[in-house]
Amino acid sequence: MPLLGCIADDFTGATDLANTLVRGGMSAVQVIGVPDAPLPQADAVVIALKSRTAPVQQAVAESLAACEALLAEGARQIFFKYCSTFDSTDQGNIGPVADALVRRLDCGFALANPAFPTNGRTVYQGHLFVGAQLLNESGMQDHPLTPMRDANLVRVLGRQTDGAVGLVPFATVEQGASAIRRAMTVLKESGRRYAVVDAVTDTHLLAIGEAAEHHALITGGSGVAMGLPANFRRAGLLPERGDAAVLPPMRGHAVVLAGSCSRATLGQIGLARNHVPVLELDALALPDAAALAAQALEWAAGRLGETPLVIAASAPPDRVAALQARLGREAAGALVEQAMAAIAEGLVARGVGRLVVAGGETSGAVVARLGVKALRIGPEIDPGVPWTYAEPVGLHLALKSGNFGGRDFFLKAFGA
């Protein structure tokens, strides 16, 4: 029975939240999409949707279906996770999804807090900052799908809901959990459906988490989830200290698949070249997914063994631009993603048990091809990137957004 049931509006956000909870001592599983089977066992289950920019109706329907699945398994508290930059438009989807969850849980009230001080996201007097900039001057005002042109979250959320939105200001948050709890009660009793809560430091987030101990619904970024494991511990539902990041023992051959062309990934490939065999696929010379996959699998066949291998489609910007000019941007991306997915499938069939995938879109393609339904979250390799155990495939998988990780990430992942 999960203690905490989470609904995340995108895939990497879900991993981020699950990882935060594991570091707090809760075991966590990330489920991909609305589940069609019983949920895996864990202290926290995070259902990863792709609802951030989906049509409003669809986002609401999928979020409610996820909520239903979590409640059916006995989840004691529901967490609606969105981006720390509050990615949304005046139509949604944060407000409409939260409204539907408030109604379903019949709780009448929820706090809203996207702050993530470690990554520079703070909320002061209801205004969201990215580093030293207001949200609407941070570059987010030009986001292609969710341009954020107002930093005042009380107004932003207010435009997305027919409920009233209040604020628990910095001065109250500074006073700690009891003061925050009292302020939220006053707002709820005065008819507010939501309270945006200021938070500038992790200490604030921990106090907010404590104040929300008995809330049926919490909405926010992964930061505000930091305070939740302590609530379950205080209630005697979670052991005092235990390692929540335990995965089945690692086995099988080890491979890195890199489909990201981000600077960090190019650097990681560069360093790996000095230590392990690296195959650089040339999608420009061989623009055919099946042929690229065949080439990679043939190369790997004689080399799978003690040392990890790296297979990279990654290329510097001029080569990427050349392939895009020839095929079009979408087709170029899809070609490489399909090649990497086919390689992953072939590698697993050949006994690979530990796979690192570099690139967000690339990871999505690999996970879909392998039929992964859930990821059990294990120990972190680098901040924000944990080892996971993919079910029902039975594979250790690390999914890395292109720009994440230090230069030695690939070597570190395999302890090489």
CA distances from 340 to 260, 356, 386 (A): 11, 12, 21
Min separation Cβ 216 and ligand ADP, Å: 35
Per-residue tokens: 96: 């409409």
Q: For ligand ADP, which is the closer residue by CB, 18 or 399? A: 399
Whose tokens are 């379950």? That residue is 232
Query: Which residue type occupies 102?
Result: V
Q: Is 382 in the site for ligand ADP (CB under 6 A)?
A: no
Q: 24, 360, 384, 386: which one contacts ligand ADP (CB under 6 A)?
A: 360
Phi-psi region of 237 (alpha: psi -120 to 50; beta: other; left: phi over 0): alpha
- The answer to whether 362 contacts ligand ADP (rule: CB under 6 A) is yes
In the complex with ligand ADP, the residue whose CB is nearer, 111 or 257, is 257
Query: Binder to ligand ADP among 31, 157, 228, 320 (CB under 6 A)?
Result: 320
Rounded-to-integer distance, Cα 95 and Cα 157, Å: 6
Where does residue 270 rank: exposed (0-12), middle (13-18), buried (19+ CB within 10 A)? exposed
Question: Does residue 10 bind ligand ADP (CB under 6 A)?
Answer: no
Q: Does 398 participate in binding ligand ADP (rule CB under 6 A)?
A: no
Work out which of 197, 336, 341, 372 binds ligand ADP, going by CB under 6 A.
336
User: Which of 239, 235, 234 has its CA nearest to residue 25?
Assistant: 239
261 binds ligand ADP (CB under 6 A): yes
Half-sphere exposure of 276 (CA within 13 A, CB side): 26
SS3 262: coil
315 counts as binding ligand ADP under rule CB under 6 A: yes
Q: Which residue has tokens 């560069």?
A: 270
Among 256, 283, 355, 375, binds ligand ADP (CB under 6 A): 283
Q: What secondary structure letter does DSSP report for 5?
A: E
Cα→Cα distances 59→48, 83, 99, Å: 12, 15, 12
CB of 361 to ligand ADP, least distance (A): 3
Task: Please report whether residue 259 would count as binding ligand ADP according to CB under 6 A.
Answer: yes
Q: Using CB under 6 A, which of 11, 69, 337, 395 touches ligand ADP?
A: 337
- Closest to ligand ADP by CB, 245 vs 336, is 336
Q: How far is the CB of 345 from ligand ADP (least distance, A)?
A: 16
Residues 70/47, Cβ–Cβ less than 8 Å: yes
343 is a site residue for ligand ADP (CB under 6 A):
no
Contact of 389 with 376, CB cutoff 8 Å: yes
The least CB distance from residue 407 to ligand ADP, in Å, is 15
Q: Confirm or reject binding of residue 84 to ligand ADP (CB under 6 A).
A: no
117 vs 360 by CB, closer to ligand ADP: 360
Asked whether 313 and 293 are in contact (CB, 8 A), the reply is no
CB of 317 to ligand ADP, least distance (A): 10
Q: Which of 89, 295, 401, 411 binds ligand ADP (CB under 6 A)?
A: 401
Instruction: Name the token pair of 5.
Output: 């049931």
Query: In whole angstroms, what separates CA 74 from the centre of its chain?
Result: 23
Cα 17 versus chain centre, distance: 6
Contact call for residue 319 and ligand ADP (CB under 6 A): yes
Give the nearer residue to ligand ADP in terms of CB position, either 210 or 337: 337
Told to check if 15 binds ligand ADP by CB under 6 A, we report no
- When asked if residue 292 is in the footprint of ligand ADP (CB under 6 A), the reply is no
Task: Name the minimum Å distance from CB 328 to ligand ADP.
Answer: 11
Angstrom distance (rounded) from CA 239 to CA 177: 22
**Interacting stretch for ligand ADP, rule CB under 6 A, among 90-98, 139-147, 221-229, 329-337?**
329-337
Binding to ligand ADP (CB under 6 A) within 181-210 occurs at none
Q: At closest approach, how far in Å is the CB of 321 from ligand ADP?
A: 8
Q: Is 268 in the site for ligand ADP (CB under 6 A)?
A: no
Cβ 49 to ligand ADP, closest distance in Å?
18
- In order of 230, 269, 362, 416, the CA distances from 254 in angstroms are 36, 15, 18, 11
Residue 294: half-sphere exposure toward Cβ, Cα within 13 Å: 6
Sheet holding 127-130, edge to edge: 121-124, 127-130, 133-134
Q: Is 13 in the site for ligand ADP (CB under 6 A)?
A: no
Residue 302: DSSP 8-state: T
Q: Please give the residue ranges that form the binding site for ligand ADP (CB under 6 A).
A: 259-262, 283, 313-315, 319-320, 323, 332-333, 336-337, 359-362, 401-402
